[in-house]
Structure 1
Amino acid sequence: MRTFLQRALFLLLATGMSLSLLAADAEKKKGSSKPGKLQHVVSFKFKKSATPEQIDQVVKDFKGLKKQISQIDGFKWGTNVSPEKHDKGFTHTFILTFASDKDRDDYLIHAAHKEFGAKLGPVLEDVFVMDFWPGK
C-alpha cells in the first residue's frame, strides 16, 4: 500500500510539473509574437478651399485602395467627433491594418498608393501618420 501511495504521489507531482512547464512555454511563445495587426493611422487636415465634393472624392479614392492593394488587411475611416477641441484642424482619420511591417512597406511603395498621394496636393493642408502594434 505504501509503495502504491508513493507512486501515486510521484505521478501527481510529475504531472503537475509537466503542466506547469507546458503553460510557461505557451506563455513565452504568446509573449514573443506581435499582438494583432499593424495599425497604420492617417489623419488629414484639408485646406479651407477644399470643397465637400473634393473631400468626398479623397475618401472614395482612399477607400478604393483596399481593392487595389492586396496587402491591406482592413480599412476603417471616420470624421472627428471629439468634444475636446484638440484636433488641430484634422477632420478625417483612416486606419489601415497590415499583417506585417513588410506588407505595410509594400503598400507604401505601391503604384496605387503613390498615385493617390499625388492627387492630394490641391486639397490637403497637412497629414499626420502613425503606425503601431497594439499593446506595444
Structure 2
Amino acid sequence: MKTKLTVVGIMAILVSYSFTSTISEKKKNSITEKTTQMPDSVLRHVVLFKFKDGTAKEDIKKVEDAFSALPAKIPEIMGYEWGTNNSPEGLDKGFTHSFFLTFKSEEDRAIYLPHPDHKAFGAVLTPYLDDVLVIDYWTR
C-alpha cells in the first residue's frame, strides 16, 4: 500500500511540475512576443539644442515658436512636447532645449525629415545653433 501511495504521490508531483512548467513557458513566450513585437510601440525623436553664446532671448523664442508650429504643419507628427533644461546635475554640456517628437512609424519619420516645413525650420534655427544632438528610439 505504501508503495502505491508513493508512486501516486510522485506521479502527482511530476504532473504538477509539468503543468507549472508549461504555464511558465507560455508566460515566458508571451513576454518575449510583447518585447519583440511591441504592438503599442512608438518611435521617439529626441532633439537637443545648444545655442551659440550671446544668442538673444528673442531669437531663441523665434526658434521655439518655429519648432512648435511643425506639428500643425506636418500631420505625421503624432506627439510633440518640449522644454528647457532644469537638471541640477550640471551634465548638460551646454544643451538647453529638448524637443520630443513621436511618430507611429519609420515611414512617418521619413516624411518628416525632408518635409519643406522642417527644412524651413532649419533655416530659422541655423544662425543661432552651436550644436545639436538627435536620438531616435522605439519605446518599450
Fold shared per TM-score above 0.5: yes
**Unaligned stretches of 5+ residues in structure 1:** 1-15
Counterparts of 1:74-93 in structure 2, within 5 Å, are 74-93=79-98
1:49·1:123 contact (CA, 8 Å) conserved in 2? Answer: no
2:66·2:124 contact (CA, 8 Å) conserved in 1? Answer: no
TM-score by length of 1: 0.77
Cα deviation, residue 122, structure 1: 1.3
1:38·1:100 contact (CA, 8 Å) conserved in 2? Answer: yes
Cα deviation, residue 36, structure 1: 2.5
Cα deviation, residue 32, structure 1: 3.3
Name the residue aligned to 1:102.
107
Counterparts of 1:1-136 in structure 2, within 5 Å, are 27=31, 29-34=33-38, 35-135=40-140
Distance 1:64 1:33 in 2: 33
Distance 1:30 1:48 in 2: 46
Larger Rg: 2
Aligned Cα root-mean-square deviation (Å)? 2.2
TM-score by length of 2: 0.75
2:82·2:99 contact (CA, 8 Å) conserved in 1? Answer: yes
Identity over the aligned pairs, expressed in percent?
Answer: 45
